[in-house]
Structure 1
């Protein structure tokens, strides 16, 4: 009975993570592996430690630790690692174009309601073929907007690599 309650609690905490993925991913099961799991139902916090792997459809998050805050109304996910690795496939609503997102950093925060990812510490974000590097990178998934900056006291400047877009060749008629 106790283990059944824990499994239900874990599932409820991670339901909003499904919003990160393609629509088809929402029906996919969530797989989490870790060396240790602790759930504090009073504070609505679940902690996974030790080589943590979270996968659901196209979403993959690898970290040393992941902390999930909130109950059924999940607020945020915080991952830490050396580095954390995040990847997902997005489908642009307006055009239906598939877009690949990958990121690495020492720390990642995902705010569920606003659908924002914040990469901190040696942050590196790949969006399709373009790259963004800096101390701090914020990615708004709804608006497909990137904000990269250096943190106070750092000498590290933001670096951006924008690849040229290939034009499709129209066949002669």
Structure 2
């Protein structure tokens, strides 16, 4: 007879956090960011309203609610409804941060390329990728983070990345 392994306290905590991510409070927090104005600072703007793209260059800093995106170059793309569909930041250390829920710490991510997929609430961190989430850190060639579910997927290699950047993690002990 095969014995089932009991879940560890860390596994139970992860399941609880996933449950919280689907709670109405988390949805309201995310909606509050989407309802906030977008503030942008840059040295240059190239806007193509018909194509739904805006390209900002030169020490770009974009803020909306708890979300912040920085980079040497940031391209914003809108969907047919005029809503932000994707933000792509590039630079030596492009950066994205957001507080997914008022009761949770800010999530911070870096990479040479940072892509935020607005509809999916998914972040891709590419080349020298680094993610900090509630005291835990993840480093590698490619990191993908799902803000709502608080799920991290990591790979040592990524398309367009030279060399292998092994995955490294630091997980904080349970409290």
Smaller-chain TM-score bracket:
0.7 to 0.9
Could you say what secondary structure the match of 2:99 adopts?
Answer: strand
What is the CA deviation profile of residues 100-125 of structure 1, one whole-angstrom value per residue up to 9, with x for unaligned ones? 20011100111122111000010000
> How far 1:76 moved relative to its partner?
1.2
Moved more, 73-82 or 123-132: 73-82
Could you tell me which residue of structure 2 aligns to residue 119 of structure 1? Answer: 125
> For the aligned residues, what is the CA RMSD?
2.0
Distance, in Å, in 1 between the alignment partners of 2:136 and 2:89 is 24
Could you tell me which residue of structure 2 aligns to residue 88 of structure 1? Answer: 98
Cα distance change on mapping 1:114 and 1:57 into 2, 3 Å: closer
Could you tell me which residue of structure 2 aligns to residue 163 of structure 1? Answer: 172
Could you tell me which residue of structure 1 aligns to residue 45 of structure 2? Answer: 37
**Structure 1 residue 76 and structure 2 residue 82: aligned?**
no
Cα distance change on mapping 1:23 and 1:45 into 2, 3 Å: closer
Distance, in Å, in 1 between the alignment partners of 2:72 and 2:166 is 27
Distance, in Å, in 2 between the alignment partners of 1:54 and 1:136 is 23
Distance, in Å, in 1 between the alignment partners of 2:147 and 2:59 is 26
Distance, in Å, in 2 between the alignment partners of 1:24 and 1:43 is 27
Query: In the alignment, which of 138, 148, 158 is matched to residue 142 of structure 1?
Result: 148
Could you say what secondary structure the match of 2:33 adopts?
Answer: helix
Cα distance change on mapping 1:53 and 1:38 into 2, 3 Å: same
**Structure 2 stretches lacking a partner, 5+ long:** 1-26
Could you tell me which residue of structure 1 aligns to residue 62 of structure 2? Answer: 54
Cα distance change on mapping 1:162 and 1:111 into 2, 3 Å: same
4+ residue stretches of structure 1 with deviation over 6 A? none
Number of equivalent positions: 143
